[in-house]
Amino acid sequence: MKDKRIYSVNVENRAGVLSKVSGLFSRRNFNIDSLAVGETDDPTVSSMTIVSSGDERTLEQIEKQLNKKLDVIKVKTFTESQCVSRELMLMKIKYNKNNRAEIMEICEVMKAEIVDMSLHFMMIQICASPEKIRLLLEMFRSVSIVEVARTGTLALAKCSENEQN
């Protein structure tokens, strides 16, 4: 039984740390479904959001092995329902006058934004849950997609009144 798990990992903001963490996943035969990295409010700390899937034992091992890495400060683990997750996607598509109105309609319903446009091409931006992004891609299946760039999932645990740092 494969489950999905989201790991929010705070690491030392140093050269080589990303490769150590991603190397751990490949060496131990763990999946990376998505990986996003960025600095936090503390410039010495980077935050990595890793989405992985596997059986319960593998998911537990991932957390333990991450904790074992000496550049890892803290690992928080949650399921999709325990967190708010977002992904940013930029998508360049080719349009024509027959489908332009439909595209704009879909964008409006999906809360996607057209951020750039030329005579035959437009770029659409969406910031949404990974599920909604999957849905948008599905909606555009009939349109010719030129290029797609995605950030990977970012996630934080849902707010609770007993937050701990």
Burial of 124 (0-12, 13-18, 19+ CB in 10 A): buried
Residue type, position 90, single letter: L
From candidates 6, 36, 72, 155, binder to another protein by CB under 8 A: 72
By CB under 8 A, residue 65 contacts another protein:
yes
By CB under 8 A, residue 164 contacts another protein:
no
By CB under 8 A, residue 29 contacts another protein:
no
Residue 115 backbone dihedrals phi, psi, to 5 degrees: -105, -15
Whole-number Å distance between alpha carbons of 79 and 99: 38
Whole-number Å distance between alpha carbons of 30 and 21: 11
Residue type, position 91, single letter: M
From candidates 64, 119, 142, 164, binder to another protein by CB under 8 A: 64
By CB under 8 A, residue 41 contacts another protein:
no
By CB under 8 A, residue 1 contacts another protein:
no
In what helix (H) or strand (E) does residue 8 lie, and over which residues does it extend? strand 3-12
Could you tell me how many residues make up the chain?
A: 165
State which residue, 27 or 141, has the beta carbon closest to another protein.
27
By CB under 8 A, residue 71 contacts another protein:
yes
By CB under 8 A, residue 38 contacts another protein:
no
From candidates 1, 41, 43, 57, binder to another protein by CB under 8 A: 57
By CB under 8 A, residue 12 contacts another protein:
yes
From candidates 1, 29, 41, 70, binder to another protein by CB under 8 A: 70
Residue 8, beta-bridge partner list: 49, 76
Total Cβ atoms within 10 A of residue 83: 19
By CB under 8 A, residue 151 contacts another protein:
no
Q: Give the interface segment with another protein, choosing from 58-66, 83-91, 137-145, 155-163 (CB under 8 A).
A: 58-66
